[in-house]
Chain A
Amino acid sequence: MATVDLKDVRKVYPGGVEAVKGVSIAIPDKALCVLVGPSGCGKSTLLRMIAGLETISDGTCAFDGKVVNTIGPTERDIAMVFQNYALYPHMKVYDNMAYGLRNRGTPKDEIDRRVRETAKILELSHLLDRRPRELSGGQRQRVAMGRAIVRQPKVFLFDEPLSNLDAKLRGQMRVEIKNLQRALGVTSVYVTHDQLEAMTLADILVVMNAGKVEQMGNPLDIYEQPASTFVASFIGAPPMNLLPITNGKFTDGSALSITAPAGATILGFRPEDADVTESAPKQGLTLPAKVEGVEPVGAESFLYCAAAGQRIVVRVSGRALHEIGAKLTVSAPLEKLHWFDKDGKRVG
């Protein structure tokens, strides 16, 4: 139970690499904050600074208003789930979970009660006598979770905990982590580069790029109002279509069917907000397009089209019956258009 406050946190590695360049995030009690961003943007570095595993070069990290910059990971009372689980290979599942409590001098019967309780929640009870190498990947992941939960820490930290699982298991664990985090009410920071995980888990979503926060807030707000082209193309799959415009014309010289707001040089719309029609609608954006590829995925299909001098993606529900080379019109309603200026910042 804690709030976590990062104020202008920086990290310069000994070699001179500036991995985190001034990040401020305020995480309220019981919230789950997800850090998302491309590889190398400094997510793990930031998480490890919160954990106390990495020194903070500048700025402050505070738990419950108390600055913890100089405090080690043990005293910060955090628990961490690692990407490769980092289970102690020579210890049984039971001891893996009990180790942290033993080091803190928790009484034996209390340890036993908590370990068994946690094992029950995570359906690990029958595995307590096994060693990590006798477990499947999913089970190891659960043990790693169990080791964190059993400690009842102030803050949970997750560094891409699901990235070693297959897609189905990942979906399952994602739901479970969310439910557990809600039920336990422990403030959590979760690092991932999977935007789906980020969208579904986050109370607060932080999109990072090159050591800085690009945008921060409610995940659906970020989805609907991306602050920059970077966020627009990072959140949502397939990514948002981004079309450069100059003086009301696309790069191939064709004219824009609507007027762009002042300063806008990039027009964006999401594949799921666009539609294909035979006849152009009265309002909104219309683009003549030619089908270049069709990707049916079951409940929906993705149409890859050439339009405005580049390739765009449109999502259509059900099975698309379009032939390759077919000519059609792509349309998107006005309120679903995103405009960005030449620096990639949102203008409307």
Chain B
Amino acid sequence: MAEPSKGHDKLMIGQSPTGIYIAHAILILGVIVVAFPIYYTFVASTHSLQTILRPPLPLLPGDRFIENYSEALFGGVGRIGGVPVWTLLFNTTVVALGIAIGKIIISILSAYAIVFFRFPLRMTFFWIIFITLMLPVEVRILPTYKVMVDLGLIDTYAGLIVPLIASATATLLFRQFFLTIPGELVEAARVDGAGPFRFFKDILLPLSRTNIAALFVILFIYGWTQYLWPLLVTNDNQMNTIVIALKKMVSFADADTEWHLVMVTAMLAIVPPILVVVLMQRWFVRGLVDTEK
């Protein structure tokens, strides 16, 4: 059963002063390598198009922050049919939330069925789910597209979300977690008069909450960065997600591209995933550090 939480009071490896300096140097280098392009994008997003097109690009932010951001957010960008970035952010949020929440609900329920119920062909269903791991969206994209067309789901949120919801990975993760729940606990709940629904709600969900939080973060980002499927299933610019729009904004001809707005859009595109990670980190760091079982 639950051990006293590990990890907090454990000594870290290699606590000699030189070790610490080297470790920090490497960490700082890593941060610079990762963060510099983002910083540079931010810098570009605060300059006018003329400044960007005339190299070299300054290393410090310019003075057009407010103009650029409000133009992109509310004014609309020409190359994508004048749709404001605000609409794109909204679309993408709906899609990412839909995919993350949908996947979690579907997979936790299927894992629950597979682990805790005895029904005919149980293992067959498990293997069918398992096999779909080998069939990611890209592989089954044409038949899926056909189905969406037949159902009239092109250019709808449902069309963007539903085909991406089925998830073997999340189902397997939940299954592995459920298998670690001691049989005695399940039986104690039965003796205590908890039916299948109560057991799920009162015992399984609270015990899974750190897993759910971690999965939510991963799946939200997965949904946020989807490219191929949204590209196929949307024709209307109003239904674009931000990643698609970003691609469409960039023209082959440099002069044709409103680079300052592209940069703003790129900056805005990474804000929500960062927010999700920051807001949820309290949950899933706890999940990784002290697993309550």
- Residues of A203-228 at the interface with B, using a CB-CB cut-off of 8 Å, are none
In-complex Cβ contact of A86 among B3, B185, B194 (8 A): B185
Residues of chain A lying within 8 A (CB to CB) of residue B202:
88, 99
Q: Are A100 and B191 in contact (CB under 8 A)?
A: yes
A169 contacts chain B at the CB level, 8 A cutoff: no
In the complex, 18 of the A-B residue pairs with CB atoms within 8 angstroms, ordered by the A residue number, are: A73-B187, A74-B192, A82-B188, A85-B1, A86-B182, A86-B184, A86-B187, A87-B188, A89-B207, A90-B203, A90-B206, A90-B292, A100-B193, A104-B193, A131-B2, A132-B2, A133-B4, A133-B5
CB distance from B263 to the nearest CB of A (A): 46
In-complex Cβ contact of B1 among A89, A100, A104 (8 A): A89
B293 contacts chain A at the CB level, 8 A cutoff: yes
Beyond the given A84-B182, A89-B293, please list 10 additional residue pairs across the A-B interface where CB-CB is below 8 A: A48-B187, A79-B191, A86-B185, A87-B1, A89-B2, A89-B292, A99-B194, A99-B202, A104-B193, A151-B192
**Contacts A90-B292, A99-B202, A133-B292; is A73 near B191 (CB within 8 Å)?**
yes
B190 contacts chain A at the CB level, 8 A cutoff: yes
CA distance A29 to B4 in the complex (A): 42
B286 contacts chain A at the CB level, 8 A cutoff: no
Q: Are B185 and A88 in contact (CB under 8 A)?
A: yes
CA distance A270 to B190 in the complex (A): 45
Q: Are A74 and B193 in contact (CB under 8 A)?
A: yes
Residues of chain A lying within 8 A (CB to CB) of residue B146:
none
CB distance from A168 to the nearest CB of B (A): 22
Q: What residue of chain A has the Cβ atom nearest to residue B202's Cβ? A: A99
Question: Would you list the 7 A-B pairs with minimal beta carbon distance, nearest first?
Answer: A133-B2, A100-B192, A103-B193, A86-B184, A86-B188, A74-B193, A90-B206
CB distance from B192 to the nearest CB of A (A): 4
Q: Are B2 and A84 in contact (CB under 8 A)?
A: no
**Number of B interface residues in the complex (CB < 8 A):** 24
CB distance from A45 to the nearest CB of B (A): 13
A253 contacts chain B at the CB level, 8 A cutoff: no
CB distance from B256 to the nearest CB of A (A): 57
Q: Are B190 and A133 in contact (CB under 8 A)?
A: no
A51 contacts chain B at the CB level, 8 A cutoff: yes
CB distance from B60 to the nearest CB of A (A): 51
Bitwise interface map of B from 56 to 96 toward A, beta carbon under 8 Å scored 1, else 0: 00000000000000000000000000000000000000000
Residues of chain A lying within 8 A (CB to CB) of residue B2:
89, 131-133
CB distance from A163 to the nearest CB of B (A): 13
Bitwise interface map of A from 99 to 113 toward B, beta carbon under 8 Å scored 1, else 0: 110011000000000
CA distance A86 to B207 in the complex (A): 14
CB distance from A134 to the nearest CB of B (A): 8
Most chain A CB within 10 A, of B192, B195, B292, is at B192
CB distance from A99 to the nearest CB of B (A): 5
- Residues of A74-98 at the interface with B, using a CB-CB cut-off of 8 Å, are 74, 78-80, 82-90
B198 contacts chain A at the CB level, 8 A cutoff: yes
**Contacts A84-B184, A86-B184, A88-B185; is A73 near B1 (CB within 8 Å)?**
no
CB distance from A203 to the nearest CB of B (A): 23
Residues of chain B lying within 8 A (CB to CB) of residue A86:
182, 184-185, 187-188
Q: What residue of chain B has the Cβ atom nearest to residue A153's Cβ? A: B191
**Contacts A82-B184, A133-B292; is A103 near B192 (CB within 8 Å)?**
yes
Q: Are A133 and B3 in contact (CB under 8 A)?
A: yes
A334 contacts chain B at the CB level, 8 A cutoff: no
Bitwise interface map of B from 1 to 37 toward A, beta carbon under 8 Å scored 1, else 0: 1111100000000000000000000000000000000
Q: What residue of chain B has the Cβ atom nearest to residue A78's Cβ? A: B191
CA distance A73 to B203 in the complex (A): 18
Q: Are B185 and A53 in contact (CB under 8 A)?
A: no
A318 contacts chain B at the CB level, 8 A cutoff: no
Bitwise interface map of B from 152 to 173 toward A, beta carbon under 8 Å scored 1, else 0: 0000000000000000000000
Q: Are B187 and A80 in contact (CB under 8 A)?
A: yes
Q: Are A84 and B191 in contact (CB under 8 A)?
A: no
**Contacts A99-B192, A100-B193, A103-B193; is A88 near B198 (CB within 8 Å)?**
no
Q: Are A132 and B1 in contact (CB under 8 A)?
A: yes
CA distance A100 to B187 in the complex (A): 12
CA distance A133 to B2 in the complex (A): 5
CB distance from A76 to the nearest CB of B (A): 9
CB distance from B57 to the nearest CB of A (A): 53
Residues of chain B lying within 8 A (CB to CB) of residue A103:
192-194, 198
A59 contacts chain B at the CB level, 8 A cutoff: no
- Residues of B237-293 at the interface with A, using a CB-CB cut-off of 8 Å, are 292-293
Q: Are A72 and B190 in contact (CB under 8 A)?
A: yes
CB distance from B43 to the nearest CB of A (A): 47
Residues of chain A lying within 8 A (CB to CB) of residue B195:
74
Bitwise interface map of A from 53 to 74 toward B, beta carbon under 8 Å scored 1, else 0: 1000000000000000000111
CA distance A287 to B192 in the complex (A): 58
CA distance A88 to B189 in the complex (A): 9
Residues of chain B lying within 8 A (CB to CB) of residue A85:
1, 184
Q: Are B207 and A90 in contact (CB under 8 A)?
A: yes
CB distance from A113 to the nearest CB of B (A): 19
Residues of chain B lying within 8 A (CB to CB) of residue A100:
191-193
CB distance from B226 to the nearest CB of A (A): 34
CB distance from B287 to the nearest CB of A (A): 13
CA distance A89 to B185 in the complex (A): 9
Residues of chain B lying within 8 A (CB to CB) of residue A48:
187
